[in-house]
Structure 1
Amino acid sequence: MAGMPGSTSSAQPERPGMRDGVCSEFTVFSKIKPGHADALREDLAALAGGSSDVEARAALRQIGTLHDARHVIFDNDTRHMFASVFDGSWDTYIDDFGKTAVGARFDKVFSHTEGFPGVTDPGVKDWFLARQAPAGVFVSSYPDLTVQQIWKNQRVNEAFQAVLDIPEFRAALDNPANAELLATPAFQKLMEEAAG
């Protein structure tokens, strides 16, 4: 795609995949090695639970850009789909998997697919690009919120909900000295949101 006169080119090449606000979609279709569907299914089941879940959640927090991900085996156990939604650049997203425990999980799952070079291999981006199919439509319910912002909002909400439950807060609501603050539209909206 040609740039506008006077514009600067990005250090990263343009990558496939649709964006909605800060969110990008990533969908990869790969061929399962003959005879590997059951092993892939077992590895996916192991990823879905067990004691390694704590490690995976910690790695996902370390990456900090993954909204959701899913794996699907289809076409009579001959094909595999990985689809996810993430924040930031495609290249950084792929690089981040190789830096955490998620990379080992990717290697284990994708080892059952044809030609996968390994998540830390310099050719892994080309492998993904050759198998990536951009969505025809991609919509996010919260296009302007990154994973980091969602986590922060959750922490703030949990803290605020805890404050609502302490007697000191209830006493402050009844204190005439706070009447002006309590009457502001912003405070009223905050209390309505907390109740809803």
Structure 2
Amino acid sequence: MEIKPQAVVIPKDADHLEQGKYGPVFPRTPACHGFTVIARVKPGRAEAVRDYGHALAKALEQDPYLLAPLKLHYLRWVLFDDDTRFMYQGIFDTDFDKYTEDAIALFAKAGVSTVFENLEGFPEDWRTNPEAFIRFVREHQCPSFIEYGEYPYVTADEIKKALRVKGALSEMLDQLQ
């Protein structure tokens, strides 16, 4: 089975898209699902954003599967415009509604905050008001207009399985030598 790279153009007008629990359901693309949020950092909070990133990396050293419920492929965080704006970009396997609900549940279970608390306009009651959390994300979402996948529509679990098979085959071949 040959997997060919693919790209999909995402329409600017989301009015015709199926409506999910929290708004339009953007189509799964060759890069799977994802979103980009760009928001202003609260004055003086850029270091707290960086510190949160360091804390997350340390937490993942302790528990590499901490974020597993989110079915992530990638996360990318960027501070820009002289540390006054923040970009959160995530690529994952589930749709927006499920990802966001899973993220809120994960934060609640782990008893941790979210980096978004350092952003202007983020609701203080986000833990008990998922609709406010989601409204913030939707209001600050910058939808992409094209997405490309070198290995289109392949889930993170499928990639990990393929890597396990590759490892097992390599080990088997090494033992034959």
Query: What TM-score do you get using the length of structure 1 for normalisation?
Result: 0.69
**Residue pair 1:36, 1:112 contacting (<8 A) in 2 also:** yes
Alpha-carbon deviations, 1:22-64, whole Å to 9, x = none? 602310011111111122222223323x3x123553122233x
Q: CA deviation at 1:104?
A: 5.8
Q: Is 1:91 matched with 2:103?
A: no
> Which residue number in structure 1 is paired with residue 76 of structure 2?
70
Is 104-113 or 83-92 further displaced after alignment? 104-113
Query: In structure 1, what is the Cα distance between the partners aligned to 2:29 and 2:96?
Result: 14
Partner SS, residue 165 of structure 2: helix
Query: In structure 1, what is the Cα distance between the partners aligned to 2:31 and 2:93?
Result: 6
Q: Is 1:145 matched with 2:154?
A: yes
Which of 102, 107, 117 aligns to 1:111? It is 117
**Residue pair 2:75, 2:91 contacting (<8 A) in 1 also:** yes
Q: CA deviation at 1:129?
A: 0.3
Is 102-111 or 54-63 further displaced after alignment? 102-111
> Which residue number in structure 1 is paired with residue 24 of structure 2?
14
Percent sequence identity over matched residues? 32
Any stretches of 5+ residues in structure 1 without a counterpart? 4-8, 171-196
Which gives a bigger RCO, structure 1 or 2 (Cα 8 Å, sep 6+)?
2
**Residue pair 2:34, 2:96 contacting (<8 A) in 1 also:** no
Which of 53, 57, 62 aligns to 2:64? It is 57
Alpha-carbon deviations, 1:88-114, whole Å to 9, x = none? 211001111122259869834111111
Query: In structure 2, what is the Cα distance between the partners aligned to 1:93 and 1:23?
Result: 12
Query: In structure 2, what is the Cα distance between the partners aligned to 1:160 and 1:100?
Result: 35
Residues 34 and 22 (structure 1 numbering): CA distance in 2 closer, same or farther, change over 3 Å?
closer
**Residue pair 1:60, 1:66 contacting (<8 A) in 2 also:** yes
Q: Is 1:121 matched with 2:129?
A: yes
Structure in which a larger fraction of residues adopt helix: 1
**CA RMSD across the alignment:** 2.8
Q: Which has the larger radius of gyration?
A: 1
Residues 45 and 89 (structure 1 numbering): CA distance in 2 closer, same or farther, change over 3 Å?
same
Residues 21 and 106 (structure 1 numbering): CA distance in 2 closer, same or farther, change over 3 Å?
farther
**Residue pair 2:31, 2:149 contacting (<8 A) in 1 also:** no
**Residue pair 2:43, 2:84 contacting (<8 A) in 1 also:** yes
Residues 43 and 60 (structure 1 numbering): CA distance in 2 closer, same or farther, change over 3 Å?
closer
> Which residue number in structure 1 is paired with residue 5 of structure 2?
none
Which of 136, 140, 147 aligns to 1:131? It is 140
